[in-house]
Amino acid sequence: NKLCDTYTEYVTEGDKSSFNSKLDSMEDWLYEDGEDETKGVYVQKIGELKAIGDPIEERYNEAASRPEAASNLQAVCKRFTEMATGSDAAYAHIEQGDKDKVTKECADALMWLQDKLAQQESNAKTAAPVVFTADINRKRETVERFCQPIMSKPKPAPPKEEPKPAATEEKPAAEGDAPMETEGGEAKEGMETANDLD
């Protein structure tokens, strides 16, 4: 019987007695009038048992899963805080104002967790949980959604260098391209010399 073994810390004596009493009554009913009852009556009877049993099981399951959820939240906050406050060059391009937002988000989450766990610690194991594993997981997801986009900002691209203008080279004159005046002057002078000889 789990009520006397696994769940014993999470059930009051009153609930334990009530649950066992209902189980005995249910067993008697099944062998007497229950055989001829409709499905709706069976569902109702099971619901009466679950109304007592489910909260007990929930308290046990929450106590078992809460420490891991808390540890995961603490690890996420530690990781992002180290990114924001460390000297890793990979995050040097991120503005200090954004890093401060990350550290504050993590500090607030850890403060919330510390407060909830303290309340849970002072709460009776037979009472409804103060904080649920799902609450802690949602807080972790909130921290990740806030911090990840900031700390994963890409480095700005280096400025592009302006292309240098190509140097213009003067084209050398081709061989044999002498000025026309020079050639014409030489020809004319040669003709005048010939006429003088005549």
User: What is the spatial distance between Cα 128 and Cα 62, in angstroms, rounded to a whole number?
Assistant: 10
pLDDT for the residue 121 = 96
In the block, residue with structure tokens 């991120």:
94
Structure confidence by residue, pLDDT tens digits, 38-87: 778 778 888 888 888 899 999 999 999 999 999 999 999 999 999 999 99
pLDDT for the residue 194 = 47
Angle, helices 39-85 vs 96-122, to 10°: value is 140
Residue 17 has pLDDT above 90, yes or no: no
Count of CB atoms within 10 A of residue 85's CB?
Answer: 14
Q: Is the pTM of this model over 0.75?
A: no
Question: Residue 130: what residue type?
Answer: V
User: What is the spatial distance between Cα 47 and Cα 166, in angstroms, rounded to a whole number?
Assistant: 88
The tokens for 162 are: 């302006």
pLDDT for the residue 1 = 64
